[in-house]
């Protein structure tokens, strides 16, 4: 059972409007927020999308909670369109779905499940030699998944989002956020963004860590 350590409060330090446009032409506008007091000292961002203020007001009155995706930074997928993962398409999907519903996209600076960019690329090399994504991390001396969602919970609580609907396939995100004081009222899976280059990766996530990914049966 995951036990959360005591955490301090974070505060919003700055809020700016940033118009967004994705490579496929989809456009929206975000209120991008930075924070003081985050537990890990990293520069995580919260993007308020759609009518997030109204979503918070409804949630506080006992209505439907805002839609939230904690998205871990993936330079290769988010920026360069790597086909080895599904991160870029998940980010694009989340921006539109959260804009429609009202809520927050948390962009968390924890590349490679928390092991960093260079180590992630080292893990890719080991995957090319036959290891799966989790085995490769272990072979490098890391944990299977070193991400910690303390800062994500701090950000949500600073925003007044103590109840959320979680847009994620990863059950560990819900477990950690609940433990840190953010009530996950509903878990909503993302779409399945499969390619020839990431099908093994997705199947491993589904089988090894119970990600909610409905994949076609292997032939």
Catalytic residues: 145, 147
Q: Nearest Cα to 73, choosing from 110, 36, 128?
A: 110
Please state the three-class secondary structure of 63-122 as a single string.
CCCCEEEEEECCHHHHHCCCCCCCHHHHHHHHHHHHHHHCEEEEEECCCCCCCCHHHHHH
Tokens 């890391």 locate to: 142
Answer yes or no: are the C-beta atoms of 106 and 49 closer than 8 Å: no
Q: How would you class 167 by CB atoms within 10 Å of its CB: exposed for 0-12, middle for 13-18, buried for 19 or more?
A: buried
């Amino acid at each position: 059972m995951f036990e959360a350590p005591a955490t301090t409060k974070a505060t919003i330090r700055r809020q700016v409007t940033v118009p967004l446009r994705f490579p496929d032409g989809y456009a929206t506008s975000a209120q991008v927020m930075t924070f003081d007091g985050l537990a890990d000292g990293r520069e995580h961002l919260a993007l308020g999308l759609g009518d997030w203020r109204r979503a918070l007001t409804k949630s506080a009155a006992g209505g439907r909670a805002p839609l939230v995706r904690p998205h871990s930074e993936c330079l290769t997928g988010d920026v360069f369109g790597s086909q080895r993962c599904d991160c870029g398409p998940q980010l694009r999907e989340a921006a539109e779905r959260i804009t429609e519903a009202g809520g927050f996209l948390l962009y968390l600076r924890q590349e490679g499940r928390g092991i960093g960019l260079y180590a992630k690329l080292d893990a890719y090399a080991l995957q090319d030699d036959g290891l799966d994504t989790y085995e490769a991390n272990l072979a490098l001396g890391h944990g299977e998944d070193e991400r910690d969602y303390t800062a994500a919970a701090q950000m949500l609580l600073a925003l007044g989002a103590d109840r959320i609907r979680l847009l994620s396939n990863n059950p560990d995100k819900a477990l950690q956020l609940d433990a840190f004081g953010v009530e996950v009222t509903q878990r909503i899976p993302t779409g399945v963004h499969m390619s020839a280059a990431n099908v093994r990766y997705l199947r491993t996530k589904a089988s090894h860590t119970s990600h909610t990914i409905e994949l076609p049966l292997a032939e």
